[in-house]
Each structure stands twice: as structure tokens, then as C-alpha cells.
Structure 1
Amino acid sequence: MRQTTDSIRSDGRTNDRGVSEVLGFILVFAIILGSVTLLSMTGFQAMQDYQEGEQLRNAERAMEAFAENANDVMRYDGIDTRRGELSLQEGTVRTSDGGTKLNITIEKTGSTVDIPEDEFSSYGTGDTVNIGEFTYIVDDDRIAYEGGGVVRGDDSGSVFLKRPQVRCDDETAVISLVTISADDRSIQSSGQVGFTISEVNRTSKAYSGVAEVSIDVDPNSQNSDAWNSTLDDWSGGNDGTCSLGGGGQVVVTLTEVDIEY
């Protein structure tokens, strides 16, 4: 029988030993390469998530600044035009005269007053006020100027970052809302886009001898969660109904604006 032995190299090591060292080197190199690849992938995802988060935070700040400019049109009689800018960063801005739908009802002693009525009728259909919308959209997230406030939402819900101007106390309720009458359109851009807000119409009316005033939100509205939460706080946990005891006063102001870009 022929006996085989490991061949001996001049340096005294066997060939099998050299093969083992090569395999070990390949294994270590593969581990290092895999680790680098994994870290680069997770690091890239983390960086992408950070950039998207920062993009939304910048959009929030820009929309809040935009809201301040737009609300000046509602607050001051001498101002009927304001201008603002948003950095879209590949996001999309959309305007519409639809948006959230509100029903404002005033209960007086022995009677009910629906808003809109008479001069308010141009702001909606029947008893519904159409708030309209000015919305920034990136992926599944949205930030909107709506009713004078700023709301952030996604598929899971919505919340106001800056609340609309509604106030309720023991004797007085104030409802000041901005409605948007802009055409349905959208624009996507990677840079700055300028917008002009112009007053179209303003209607204000005071009601005395009021028992309560309620604001109901259309449940099918995209940002109904944000409105319901805000109106629940507004009414002291009374489901959007502000109780005034029968001798209260309510002031309703609706300012219609157009947004061009």
C-alpha cells in the first residue's frame, strides 16, 4: 500500500496548512466586507430617514410662517394681500376649495341659527362651511394650512401644530376662520416657490342671547381628527359645543382668500 504524506515546502510548512490560512483570510475578508455593506445600508437608511424628518420639520416651520402672513389678512382690515415662500424639496403643494367641512350651529332661546345663513351662504352648501386647503405633501405625510391653523397628518391621523382662531368662555364665543377659494391645482418642485394670499371676501356677524354654539366636523374630511381634538378642547370636553348659559354672545368671522403661485 502506498502511503501519502503532506508535501513539505522549503519554509517547513505543509501545503494543507497554507490552504487553511488562505481560507481563513477569505473568511475574515468576507466578514469585514459583509459588515461594511450592512453598516453602509443601515447608515444610508438612517441618513435618509433623518433627511426626510428634517424636510418635514422645515416644512412645518415654513407653513407656520406662511400661516402668520395669511392670518394677517384675516386680523387686519388694512391688509388684503400677503406673500410667502415654501421650499418644496421635491414635495408637492396642492390648493383646493374643498378640504374640511364644518357645520356651525347657534342655539338661541326658542330658535336655531345655522351658519352659513344669508351673507354666509357663499362659503358653503346648505349648513356646511367648506374650509378649503393649502397642503404640502411629501410621501405619505402632509402639512396643511386650513381654517387659519396648521395641521400635520398622514394615513394614521392628524393633529394641529397651530390651532385655528376659535375661543370659548362662559359668556362669549369667537369663531374666526379662513376659507380658501383657490382652484384645484398642484405643483411639484425642488426649489423655492412663492405664493400670494389675497382677500376675496370677509363676513362677520354677532349673535346675542345665545345658549350654545356647536361646530361639527364632517367625519369624511381628511383632517377630521385634528379638528375634533381641537374643538373638544375649545368646548371644554363638550364634543364641540360651547355652552353660554342663554345670555351669551357669539361672533363669527369668515375670511375668504385666494392663493396664487
Structure 2
Amino acid sequence: MTDRRSPTVSIGDGERTAFASDARGVSNVVGYVLIFSLVTITIGTVFAVGITGLEDRQAAERVANVERAFDVFDDNVRDVQRYGDPSRSTEIRLSGGTISLTEPTAVELRNASGGLVGRSLDSRSLTYTSGDTTIAYENGAWFRGDGTGAVMRSEPRFVAADGRTTLPIVRLYPLGEETVEQEGTVQIVVERSSRPQLVETADASADDGPFDLWIESPYAEAWERYFVRTDGFSVNTDATDTANDTVVAHLNHSDTVFVADDAVNVRLLR
């Protein structure tokens, strides 16, 4: 009788091993996952670094725009001083920052015994703040601060030579709003309050001198560096205390000292 069972196929050990080790399908999946992960990580890294760099660039550009606006403001104040223009205006894009006329700072002329000569000249500061960045105008100079310190970007028009010192003090007075915080643009209008007035003529020959100029300011360290590098002034280290916002400059040309009070009104318009 014929055996009708299906023939048995024998598979040797070598053939079993070759079949079991054929992982081409698994290798394709693993390769795809690795490539996909690498592409995802690369795109994520580039995106994160690129966004951070872009944000830093935008923040730096915003601050640079404000600095340029303060340059214009400084020029406008000088034009009002020099030419007697009734008013000048400057536009500043706040971009989330704040512009304000902050608490008064004081400027005083004192004699050798520390007595006040004339009167104390108090003034507001025009200040822009955004995060740790501060840009401020006070007493004829403007400053840039970044949390840990500040530098003077525009110097006052102090002149000292040949035994004579002239100190034009620019004082700001607020009219209307004193603080504006928004995303848009603010117009800063400078208006002449009065013609510059000669507050005091100090004469060392009348036993008033020698003289020191006292400035109370949150930017005392920047004022100190200004007096160190400027001819006709030297820092009175015994009286200067920058930790408490006080800098004292000795007037080397103090035979005659002129202190001019130049007051201007400032409006912040939305």
C-alpha cells in the first residue's frame, strides 16, 4: 500500500541558525527610530538655540533704540537751553518697559568747612527700565545701567580752567503723568520753564573756597569715574560714599565758581 503522508522536511542546525539570525526587518525599524530621533533632537536644538538668540537680539535692539532716543532727548534739552526754543519732543518705543520721572537727586556746592554755598538744587531723573536694564538722564548727563553697575554715556557740560569753573545744572520737573508703562510709543515733550539763572557766584578770595561739588545720585560710581578723568576736578575720597549714592568732587579751578540753574518741564504723552 502506498504511504500517502506528506513528506517530512528536515532542517539542519545550520539552517535553523541562519533563519533565526536574519534580523533585517528589525534592523530597518531600529534604524528608522534612530534617524527619526536624531532629526528630532537636531531640529529641537536648533529651534531652542535659534529662538533664544533671536530673543536676545531683539532685546538688545530694543535697548539700542531707547539709547538712541535718549541721545535725541539730550540734544533736544541742549537746544532748548542754547536757542531758547519753547519746546522739543522725543519719541520712545517702550516695548514693555517703563518710562518715569523718578525721585529727586540733589546737587550742592559746599565750601571748605562743608557749609552750603547758595542752595541745594534738586531735580528729577528721566528713567527707562526694562528688566535689569536702566537708562536715565539727570543733571545734564545720561547713563546706562545693567543691574551690577552703570556707565555715563553722555557727559554734562561742566567746564573748569584758568581758575574758573562753570557748572550748568539741568533740572527736570514733571508736568502731568510721572510714569508710563505700555507696549506703544511715548512722546516726551521738553518745555522751557525759565531762562537759565545764575544761582551762585562763589569767590574763593572771599574766604568761601576751596569748593566741593556734592552730587547725590544712584549713579554715583559713574559720576565718580567722570570726575576722575575730567580735567579741573578730583574726587574727594574722604567725603565720597558711592555705596550711599554720594560723590564729592573737589573743584581744582575754584577761584571763581558759577552755578547755573537751568530748569525744564517734562511731559509724558501717550
Contact 1:158 1:224 in 2 (8 A): no
Quote the residue 1:186 is aligned against: 179
Instruction: Please state if 1:208 is matched with 2:203.
Output: yes
Unpaired runs of at least 5, structure 1: 121-127
Partner of 1:72: 79
| Distance of 1:58 and 1:212 partners within structure 2 | 43
Distance of 1:182 and 1:53 partners within structure 2 = 29
In 2, the alpha carbon distance for the partners of 1:237 and 1:34 equals 59
In structure 1, the partner of 2:219 is 223
**Residues 167 and 259, structure 2, Cα contact 8 Å, conserved in 1:** yes
Whether the aligned pair in 1 keeps the contact of 2:224 and 2:235 (CA below 8 Å) is: no
How many residues get paired? 236
User: What secondary structure sits across from 1:241 in the alignment?
Assistant: strand
1:151 lines up with 2:158 in the alignment: no
1:63-102 superposed Cα distances (whole Å, 9 cap, x missing partner): 11111101223334x3342222212222211113x24333
Q: Give 1:51 deviation, angstroms.
A: 1.0
User: Where does residue 32 of structure 1 map in the other structure?
Assistant: 39
Q: Which amino acid aligns with 2:136?
A: A
Please name the residue that 1:125 is paired with.
none
Deviations, residues 2-22 of structure 1 (Å, cap 9, x unaligned): 9764648xxxx93x2221221
1:141 is matched with 133
Judging changes above 3 Å, is the alpha-carbon distance between structure 1 residues 43 and 52 closer, same or farther for their aligned structure 2 residues? Answer: same
Q: CA deviation at 1:185?
A: 2.4
* Aligned 1:75-224 pairs, distance under 5 A: 75-76=82-83, 78-96=84-102, 98-107=103-112, 114-115=116-117, 117=118, 120=119, 128-182=120-174, 185-201=178-194, 202-204=196-198, 205-209=200-204, 211-218=209-216, 221-224=217-220
TM-superposition CA deviations, 1:35-80 (whole Å, max 9, x none):
111111111111111111111111111111111101223334x334
Deviation at 1:189, TM superposition (A): 2.7
TM-score scaled to structure 1, two decimals? 0.79
Q: Which runs of 5+ in 2 are unaligned?
A: 1-11, 237-248
Contact kept? 1:177, 1:254, Cα under 8 Å: yes
How far off its partner does 1:171 sit? 1.1
Tell me if the contact between 1:203 and 1:254 (Cα under 8 Å) persists in the aligned partners: yes
Q: Which amino acid in structure 1 is aligned with residue 110 of structure 2?
A: T
Q: Find the residue that maps to 2:59 and give its secondary structure.
A: helix
Candidates 237, 242, 245, aligned match of 2:251: 242
Q: Does structure 1 conserve the Cα–Cα contact (< 8 Å) formed by 2:88 and 2:189?
A: yes
Match of 2:263 in 1: 256
